[in-house]
Structure 1
Amino acid sequence: MKTLVASLALAFAASAASADPLTCNTSGYKAQPGLTAAVADNTLTVTWDGEKNREVRLRFTLNDGTPTIRDLAVRAKGGSWATLAAGVTAEYRVVSGLRRATDQQLKPLQALGIPITPKVLDEIRWEAFWDSPLNVPGDSVAHGGATPPVAGIADQPGLPRKASEVTRAAAAYQVRSCDVKTNGARIEVSFPGVQLGVFSGRLEYTVYKGSSLIRQAIVAKTDERAVAYKYDGGLKGLAIQPATEMVWRSNTSNQWIDYQFGGAKNDAPVPLKTANRLIAAQVPGGSIAAFPPPHNFFWSRETEFNLGYNWYRKDSPSSFAFGVRQAEGEEDPAWQGHGPEDRRQNFALYSARPGPTRATITTSRYPATR
């Protein structure tokens, strides 16, 4: 264990020495007992009181414009810091498509004699239910004609959908500074300069006095007119060590499952149908759990099947990533035994109105010592 701590300390020192200059605006920050932030040697250190007489510490640097968690550590008050992660970065991927208004919305307006204009479409498209923007070609009519009009209407294109409507992107960081604010019993750290497909905005971390919870989010906006989207989020660059494993509870068997990073690396994230949308990385000295926001993670659907809301990925023999995800569509309804209607036409995604309205893409972390 001493050798491990020494090697991590050396890695920390090398990371800080090669980090980009970090300037933080702290005009909105107010120190209070058990909730502090400080900038020194191009490193932002946030320390706060967690649960059960523990302290939690996050140290941030910038590396090639990318906000980097130099280390995440936990300790009992007065004890030694246990480092749970070092040199890790936020990973976000987004898939966006074209939001269409549906006949379920349009037919009642037409029955009232209301002309369907581009302005009307811009007002109502955000409440679409029988839309499925990533279902290409997706040109079959479902649910008694509730889907988008096949022939199109006003300036809304008809069906089938085109592959060119779908955009896939990973977060790209060009961060040069940060903002640190106190908001009651929490500290909010934001890094402006993030591009995520059609979105631009900031990476944000929020910590809470009295809790070990860490909220990681991208807060962004788009100027595109009719965007629907889904996202995956997590952490990458975590070290695989002898005691490292992923742990989750199966949604189907209710049994605990562990994965110890044997075998080849993964070329893509491995989706998991976990119970409670929760996955944990057990590492020497503790664990880090990841889960989505509990109240706004799901959009409305016709079915309630678990589509796999967590993921892990072994990137190399020494590195892994994990987090939360959304599927791109419903599973085959025939395979689910759910009847003849194709409910893959009902997968509306999140809506992103253009302009100052911002989309929040959130994952949460819960670090704990053993």
Structure 2
Amino acid sequence: MRKFLVLVLVFFNLLTYGQIPVDLTGFDKKKGVKITNESNLLNIEWPAGNAESGKIIIDLSKGQPVMNSLMIGKNNVFKTIVKNLDPAIILTVGKRDLVSQNGWNIFFDKTAYLPYKTYPVKLDKTGVKVVTSGSQTEIIVAGATGGPFSGSYNFTLYNGSPLMNVAAVMATDVDSLAVVYDAGLVSQQSPWENLFWSDTENNVRNTKVARMDTAHMMAVKYRTIIGEGKEGSLAVFPAPHQFFYPLDNAYNLEHIWYGNNYRNQFAGFGIGLRHDLLGDRRWVPWFNAPPKTQQRYNFFCLLSAEKDGKVLEKVKAFTHNDTYQPLPGYYTMSSHFHQEHIDEVLTRRPIPEMPGFVKAFRNTGVNIVHLGEFHGPGSPRGPEAKRWPELKMMFDECKRLSDGNFLLLPGEEPNNFFGGHWMNIFPKPVYWLMSREKDQPFVEENSTYGKLYRIGNKEEMLKLLELEKGLAWTAHARTKGSTGFPDKYKEEAFYKSDRFLGAAWKAMPADLSQPKLGKRVLDLMDDMANWGQKKYVIAEADLFRIEPNYELYGHLNVNYMQLDQMPKFETGWQPLLDAMEKGKFFVSTGEILLPSFSVNNVTSGETAKMDAKGNVEIKLNAKWTFPLNRAEVISGDGKEVFHDVINLHDTEAFGEKSFTFTKNLKNRKWVRVEVWDVAANGAFTQIVWLD
């Protein structure tokens, strides 16, 4: 009996603390990564650039922290940054309304205000698999569960950089779920001596780690917290854009946490990232989580032997210090902002020489900002006694605030005449009213304002765009107030007109299973091309108030417009509209730039001739920060859309390359290209038409 009990205890200990199986069949030892497995510890060493090597030691024993050590070193001499860590990912799971509006594209959802449940993602290790893909090595630790989700904890290493991605890769069979997540690293013994971060004024701050019973949240710049140990530092930060689900406001909602027992879900001391469950207190849709999709609740770590928060400079390099990098031959332009600055001026609030929102855009490297004023305040439909002075004030303020390398352009988001919501831009100040009585003229001369237009229907709206050389496009297509559009008016004369540009792109809705952002409008871009008209897609931010201490970069995107020089407000900005109308621009989140793109030596917005067999040569010059994930060559024949995915896992961080792709596009009518990195940052070209 005693021997039997001993055998039972031994078997129990093997189950509880024994080594889990390791599968190396997908590992390629020729890619520069070294693996050793000894004493229940799986050592993975990878080339981290600058003659350094990174090392992660995975503890294969059940019941032990999965990350035994993180190390950085040179010439086989390693410094231990931290020991005995576990990922701490918390899922807050609510209900998605798939019925009342537009399915998974919904924005106006009440998710955050309805009942929800919170689950820590716990790990009961059942196996480890190591897989090589180009310069990337993924360590997959099976046995992760969190509420209705199950999957694995994945650690991805990137050759050439001390960068690591940590992800709970989870799927569920439950339908109609919306999720928001917090993430970080915890230890039962505090492994850090100091913590560093940048405050919202761009000052590096620190605190000594002390015993604390709860966790502390902070508003920071660059979305980063740094733990400093005896021999090095570890920066923890999210994907800069993918981490944020869409909101109307870019408030800085204290996205960093540190301390003990965070949200009463994980014991021990941790550092990490977080979301405010109520967002900006408006519509707060969280992330989509459709059933059977592999959601990646993830964040990044950057290993460093440096101290005193110096590693923050290397984190900032991934986003060009949260700015849009200048590119010869291009100027950056961002659109769709409801700042309602004019309402502040007209209500006689104190207005500084340079308002906060202008400082924020200038600090972020945006050259041209296109407003969407009077979206609530103001009198777009009259009375005229208010409308004309409001427009004049908008034009005057835009002129006053346009200076040097910054141009502030008037614009509005009408919600009448065409259907849904749409944006417009004219190449100069235009006075117009969104209503007309039967006895009023369409246009008249006024001694104070010049030409005054009154618009009573869609035909008159198109006529105004034609007369004043304006452009219009669908705002937040297929969601929000444009649900069902532009699909419902694609046969209308105004849509088929060259005055209707197309639509605008934003990362909305959010879905962490997708390797790209903004699939909603990328799909629409392809549909519009197949409908037969030459339409283009610009980036839009669709944000309300903006100040310098907001989390602007994470919610922003830009258009790189091909312009010989910066337009001046005084002489009009027709060259900008020419670039838009001709498709002479590309869209970017900022981390990937596409300085040149051609199909058979023809650039975007133009028509390329295929050879007799339908072959084309696509040339693309790309610059990037995060390692690249994939390129997509997307084409259509007027009915179907074709996606040719090109794996770019051989790339390393901070690169530049000229790619050449030879493709057979016989019977295709158009083609475009997207490029995405491992953080789901991206850039996409406008369309080249095929003949």
TM bucket, shorter chain: 0.7 to 0.9
- For 1:112, the equivalent position in structure 2 comes to none
Structure 1 residue 56: Cα displacement: 0.9
**AA partner of residue 299 (structure 1):** Y
1:266 to 213, 228, 233: 213
Contact preservation (8 Å) 1:244, 1:260: yes
- For 1:320, the equivalent position in structure 2 comes to 269
* Greater fraction strand: 1
Q: In structure 2, list runs of 5 or more residues that go unmatched.
A: 1-15, 263-267, 307-691
The structure with more radius of gyration = 2
- Pair 1:87–1:20, CA change in 2 (3 A): farther
- For 1:100, the equivalent position in structure 2 comes to 97
Q: How does 1:169-208 map to 2 (within 5 A)?
A: 169-208=119-158
Structure 1 residue 23: Cα displacement: 1.5
2:182 to 223, 232, 239: 232
Contact preservation (8 Å) 1:102, 1:128: no
**In 2, Cα distance between the equivalents of 1:76 and 1:297?**
33
**AA partner of residue 94 (structure 2):** G
- For 2:236, the equivalent position in structure 1 comes to 290
Structure 1 residue 125: Cα displacement: 2.4
- For 1:81, the equivalent position in structure 2 comes to 78
Q: Name the SS for the 1:176 alignment partner.
A: strand
**In 2, Cα distance between the equivalents of 1:173 and 1:58?**
18
- For 1:132, the equivalent position in structure 2 comes to 110
- For 1:147, the equivalent position in structure 2 comes to none
Structure 1 residue 62: Cα displacement: 3.2
Q: Name the SS for the 1:48 alignment partner.
A: strand
TM-score (norm 1): 0.73
Structure 1 residue 39: Cα displacement: 2.1
2:195 to 228, 237, 246: 246
Structure 1 residue 315: Cα displacement: 5.7
**AA partner of residue 276 (structure 2):** A
Q: How does 1:1-370 map to 2 (within 5 A)?
A: 19-32=17-30, 34-65=32-63, 68-78=66-76, 80-101=77-98, 105=101, 124-135=102-113, 161=114, 163=115, 166-237=116-187, 239-240=189-190, 244-251=193-200, 253-262=201-210, 264-267=211-214, 269-314=215-260, 320-331=269-280, 344-355=281-292, 357-370=293-306
Contact preservation (8 Å) 1:279, 1:310: yes
**AA partner of residue 260 (structure 1):** K
- For 2:489, the equivalent position in structure 1 comes to none
- Pair 1:325–1:29, CA change in 2 (3 A): same
**In 2, Cα distance between the equivalents of 1:246 and 1:315?**
17
**AA partner of residue 155 (structure 2):** Y
Contact preservation (8 Å) 2:193, 2:228: yes
Q: Percent identity?
A: 22
Structure 1 residue 305: Cα displacement: 0.5
**In 2, Cα distance between the equivalents of 1:94 and 1:359?**
11
Deviation track 1:327-358 (CA, whole Å, cap 9, x = no partner) reads: 10135xxxxxxxxxxxx241100000012x11
- Pair 1:19–1:369, CA change in 2 (3 A): farther
Structure 1 residue 240: Cα displacement: 3.9
- For 1:141, the equivalent position in structure 2 comes to none
Q: Name the SS for the 2:111 alignment partner.
A: coil
- Pair 1:68–1:177, CA change in 2 (3 A): same
Structure 1 residue 300: Cα displacement: 1.3
- Pair 1:291–1:172, CA change in 2 (3 A): same
Contact preservation (8 Å) 1:36, 1:47: yes
Q: Name the SS for the 1:134 alignment partner.
A: helix
Deviation track 1:191-250 (CA, whole Å, cap 9, x = no partner) reads: 111111221111000001111001000111111111001111111117546x81110011
Which segments of structure 1 move beyond 6 Å, counting only runs of 4 or more? none
Bigger relative contact order (CA 8 A; separation at least 6): 1
Deviation track 1:230-288 (CA, whole Å, cap 9, x = no partner) reads: 111111117546x811100112x3222211123x5132x32211101011111111100
Structure 1 residue 19: Cα displacement: 4.9
Deviation track 1:143-189 (CA, whole Å, cap 9, x = no partner) reads: xxxxxxxxxxxxxxxxxx4x3xx111111222221111111111111
Contact preservation (8 Å) 2:217, 2:258: yes
**AA partner of residue 266 (structure 1):** D
Contact preservation (8 Å) 2:178, 2:287: yes
- Pair 1:173–1:33, CA change in 2 (3 A): closer
Contact preservation (8 Å) 1:38, 1:46: yes
Contact preservation (8 Å) 2:56, 2:70: yes
- For 2:506, the equivalent position in structure 1 comes to none
Deviation track 1:295-342 (CA, whole Å, cap 9, x = no partner) reads: 3111111111111211111469xx6210111110135xxxxxxxxxxx
Contact preservation (8 Å) 1:23, 1:42: no
Q: In structure 1, list runs of 5 or more residues that go unmatched.
A: 1-17, 106-123, 136-160, 332-343
Q: How many residues align?
A: 286
- For 1:8, the equivalent position in structure 2 comes to none
- Pair 1:298–1:315, CA change in 2 (3 A): closer
**In 1, Cα distance between the equivalents of 2:135 and 2:67?**
22
Structure 1 residue 132: Cα displacement: 3.3
Structure 1 residue 100: Cα displacement: 1.1
Q: Name the SS for the 1:75 alignment partner.
A: strand
- Pair 1:59–1:322, CA change in 2 (3 A): same
Q: Name the SS for the 1:276 alignment partner.
A: strand
- Pair 1:19–1:71, CA change in 2 (3 A): farther
